[in-house]
Amino acid sequence: VQLQASGGGLVQPGGSLRLSCAASGLSFEYYAIGWFRQAPGKEREWVSCIVSSDHSTYYADSVKGRFTISRDNAKSTVSLQMNNLKPEDTAVYYCAADFGDINTSSWIEGTNYEYDYRGQGTQVTVSS
């Protein structure tokens, strides 16, 4: 199983980036996909997720209204469109897969960040 995150980079405040998570080796349609981030010296933070059951989407309050998550089961990919980026969005972002949406409620509630698979991270830096 592989989850490949891409699309990070350096952007000015107010700018946009689109992250992609490409999955292989798993039955993608049965997995919720979440995005997490971790900045230096800070705890890991859940950012957003899209569930497998009905493709409902969820966002952390810190990104609501600025980020949009979507999935394409035919291509086994999930995208995270990030608009109006702020310096506090600077972090390493990675995607994770959760079979059957089992842990997504816990992600949203912040009680645990367990998952079945995760990919390597992609660096997002927001700076002028």
What is the secondary structure of 54-85 as a DSSP string?
A: T--EEE-TTTTTTEEEEEETTTTEEEEEE-S-
At residue 68, the pLDDT reads: 98
Query: Looking at residue 100, what DSSP letter applies?
Result: T
* Segments of the chain scoring below 50 in pLDDT: none
Single out the residue of 48, 40, 35, 44 nearest to residue 125, CA to CA: 40
- For the stretch 105-126, pLDDT in tens is 999 999 999 999 999 999 999 9
Residue 95: the pLDDT is 98
How high is the pLDDT of residue 104? Answer: 96
Are the CB atoms for 11 and 85 separated by under 8 Å? yes
Q: What does the pLDDT read at residue 29?
A: 97
How far is 12 from 84, CA to CA, in rounded Å?
A: 9
